[in-house]
Amino acid sequence: MMKEEKERLDELFDRLYPLTRSITGPGLRESLDILKEVIPLDVEHVSSGTEIFDWTIPEEWRVYDAYLVGPNGKKYADIDETNLHVINYSKPVDKRLSLEELKHHIYTDPESPDAIPYVTSYYDRKWGFCLSKNTFDSLPEGEYHAYIDSKFIDGKLSYGHCKLEGKSDDEVLISSYICHPSLANNELSGPLVLCALYNRIKRWSNRHFTYRFVLAPETIGSLAYLHNYSDELTEHLVSGAVLTCLGGYKKRVNYQKSRMGDSLLDRVVLNEKKFGDIELEVRQFTPINGSDERQFCSPGFNLPVGQFAKTVYGEYDGYHNSKDDKEFMTIEALIDSADHIETILKRLKYALCYKNTKPYGEPFLSKYNLYSSVNAPDTRNDSTDYIQNDKRVFLNKALRVLNYCDGEREMVDIAEKYGYSIKDLDSIIDTLVEKKLLKKIGI
């Protein structure tokens, strides 16, 4: 299965990477159509000019050709070489100008002088090209021909979403963005891990939660989605996470908590960090930078949405430039991220509130084969008639869980009280539920 998943993600990357994506336009729609081949996205559209809270859906941007030719006939920028050469949402131009005039329309990244930066101007009409600082410094004096064939039309913004239904109407949101052209870690890592998680969760038996998957252009796309679905999210969302920057060289998972700071997922991640076996870094929510969690967690919604990352935006040399490629990101790193996030998501159902169905006194555990039927010196360290000689580890956990599962405390809090990871309790919970000694509240 891992080989098949790796091959599928590898193929998706190669098809998606070259597309000229933006917050609107053909590249965005083509990307969603490709992703629809592996997850059943329902793609919806919002027309240009639509008022979305304090924002307005912009005109759709379409670009057909772009190049910058120097006085020596050399092309210093060419959209056919990389779409990063052109400012995303650049207005059209067909002009001959001097190097001095041209410099006002050239963008570089001095901190990464051999890389082409990714630059946008969605809401202010500008034209321009992006070059490496080294190339810019080498430009000769003379006349240049700047040509960008683009236009703006009354079009639409598109996003895609789908659900995997569970036993409960309570939802977990998995969201990522799809709008950056030719960036790997800071663009495609999120959607590709989202696809991997969809297909993994689809195979889970007895899903408790309903899982909602959303792919939208960053910021304006998530706001458009909230404009249409915030009532559903407010009613049903238990926890969620935005996926971003999940490739790269760093091994530990980086989780940013939701604005409220105590969602079910927030507490499960903190439990895993303290008592589990996944290497985690946990950060507080910030409205200053990040991704679409800022929209989901804005004060009008205050939804319980965190963020999963790995090699985080702004912390690597290739951030928002041409160094952010497949070689830097790696498909193996994405699979590793999917492994860790899936493991954490599996913990959620065990972290919920359960109720002891036999709360008056201790249950008679022997009749459920949960307590040794013989009390003798050589059986006192047994847990049960079928789990022998574990020094009562199983039994002691079961007794603690039963005593504190009063329908008021969530399991993650009980685990915290005794220094257990959720993983330490999953087999205990499954056994007690199977024996009808525990019942999940709300089901």
pLDDT tens-digit readout, 50-93: 999 999 999 999 999 999 999 999 999 999 999 999 999 999 99
Report residue 142's pLDDT band, with 50, 70 and 90 as the boundaries.
very high
The pLDDT assigned to 410 comes to: 94
Report residue 383's pLDDT band, with 50, 70 and 90 as the boundaries.
low
Tokens of 266: 């927030």
The pLDDT assigned to 388 comes to: 58
pLDDT average, residue stretch 25-34: 98
Same domain, 217 and 283: yes
Residue 369: domain span = 353-440
Predicted confidence (pLDDT) at residue 1 exceeds the cutoff of 70: no
Same domain, 43 and 73: no
Question: Residue 75 maps to which CATH number?
Answer: 3.50.30.90
Same domain, 365 and 281: no
The pLDDT assigned to 373 comes to: 72
pLDDT tens-digit readout, 284-322: 999 999 999 999 999 999 999 999 999 998 889 999 999
pLDDT tens-digit readout, 259-288: 999 999 999 999 999 999 999 999 999 999
Question: Residue 318 maps to which CATH number?
Answer: 3.40.630.10
Same domain, 163 and 37: yes
Report residue 389's pLDDT band, with 50, 70 and 90 as the boundaries.
low
The pLDDT assigned to 376 comes to: 65
Tokens of 279: 């290497």
Report the C-alpha gap between 62 and 153 in whole angstroms: 8
The full length of the chain comes to: 443
Report the C-alpha gap between 406 and 5 in whole angstroms: 42
The pLDDT assigned to 378 comes to: 65
- Tally of domains within the chain: 3
- Whether 189 and 329 have beta carbons less than 8 Å apart is answered as yes
Sorted by sequence, the CB contacts under 8 Å of residue 393 that are 6+ apart come out as: 383
* One-letter amino acid for residue 272 of the chain: E
